[in-house]
Amino acid sequence: MTYLMILLLTLKPAAVWAAEDQKQEETEVPEESRTQEDRELNQVAAEVSAPHALLMEVSTGTVLMEKAADEKVHPASVTKIMTLLLILEALEDGKIVLSDMVTVSEHAASMGGSQVYLEPYEKQTVDTLLKCIAVASANDACVAMAEYISGSEGDFVKLMNARAEELGMSNTHFVNCCGLDAEEHLTTARDVALMSRELLRNHPQIHEYCTIWMENITHQTARGSFEFGLTNTNKLIRQYEYATGLKTGYTSVAGFCVSASAKKENIELVAVIMGGTDSKSRFQDAVTLLNSGFACCSLYTDENRAALPKIQVKGGVEGQVGLQYADEFSYVSTDGSNLSQVERVPELPEEVTAPVEKGDRIGRMVYVLNGREIGSTELMAADTVERAVYGDYIGQVFRIFLL
């Protein structure tokens, strides 16, 4: 027993194992390695009539095709995608609720362009104003919501620009919340796709608004009550079977624009068209991109249902710690690869050293297709394991003897 006590006293806990962060780098594919499908996709993008276009797969953010997607342009009412995103984030955070009554200011009621003719001091619910923005592209409803959330349109625009920076929209600057032309109110097709993806991925309830074709709202004003009809500005909702949204825009400066989302089976795409010459051609261009994307894309999704091994813990009150995935993994193929052949290869240490905090990075799961790594997701500690102290070792010894 004396020998055992000396042995316990000489144990020295070490630092927790921590692997270096594996920064996933994008590599440019050499021209000779590009597949026929990739070349065909780029050809489709070149053939759209609009000067600026981009097609993105939503779950992964993979850009499938693009055309002058980083040139700065005026976005018109496509701006409202960011406004809608901030409204839905405020709802999610509990800052506002759909049943809140919003009082329309004189400034909001004075907005020109597309509108639903809100009157000063009229009250509408957040839910109704969301419909006015998503369906009828109402500038007055946008400003009313901006003021309700931030106190003023100017302060709301600051939130828009801050959120754009967070999303990596490096070529975007907003001046107003509704898209009225201003010299410095600029974005790109790529940046529009980024904010569209954020809205679609994290707030799928937006489809409940964007897919409304026609609906009436009721104005309650000092002059009395009257009905006003909303009609969706996005004609693809009626004309394209896979359409799910998202937002149109037009001014004489911006031209005809659309961020068109669509879903077919398990693949969701967003096609951005900027600067089109007429309304019909912007929708035709969007459908051309969407159809080409659906024709060539296949999607692999690992929903992480497979059991993960436990990792030995050195110097902890528990001898093992379970693992969990940081997030799901998705991969888009456009080359016809058999995605059932994707292999999952865990990269894990033999053991870690206590203390281990829940959420600590332990390793990663690597996904390999045809001998090539196509991506990875981090593996995290599922529980906390404290460092064992002298008393814990004594307790372990007594438990051993009692067994």
Query: Contact at 8 Å (CB) between 23 and 357?
Result: no
Contacts within 8 Å (CB) and 24+ apart, 383-386 = 383/318, 383/321, 383/322, 383/356, 383/358, 384/355, 384/356, 384/357, 384/358, 385/313, 385/316, 385/317, 385/318, 385/321, 385/354, 385/355, 385/356, 386/316, 386/317, 386/354, 386/355
Q: Which two tokens stand for residue 139?
A: 């500038």
Query: Contact at 8 Å (CB) between 276 and 285?
Result: yes
Which one from 59, 105, 114, 137 is the annotated catalytic residue?
137
Q: Which residue has the tokens 């400003």?
A: 143
Active site residue 259: no
> How many Å apart are CA 381 and CA 320, to the nearest integer?
10
Q: Which two tokens stand for residue 48?
A: 């759209």
Phi, psi of 81 (to 5 degrees): -60, -45
> How many Å apart are CA 154 and CA 98, to the nearest integer?
23
Going along 135-213, which residue ranges are E strands? none
Q: Which residue has the tokens 């693009």?
A: 66
Q: Which residue has the tokens 């991506």?
A: 375
Active site residue 252: no
Flag whether 12 is marked binding: no
Query: Contact at 8 Å (CB) between 107 and 143?
Result: yes
- Residue 389 gets the label, from left (phi > 0), alpha (psi -120 to 50) or beta, of beta
Which one from 77, 259, 261, 292 is the annotated catalytic residue?
77
Q: Angle CA(253)–CA(250)–CA(101) in degrees, nearest 5?
A: 125
Phi, psi of 235 (to 5 degrees): -65, -15
Query: Contact at 8 Å (CB) between 227 and 250?
Result: no
Enumerate the active-site residues: 77, 80, 137
Binding residues for substrate: 247
Binding residues: 247
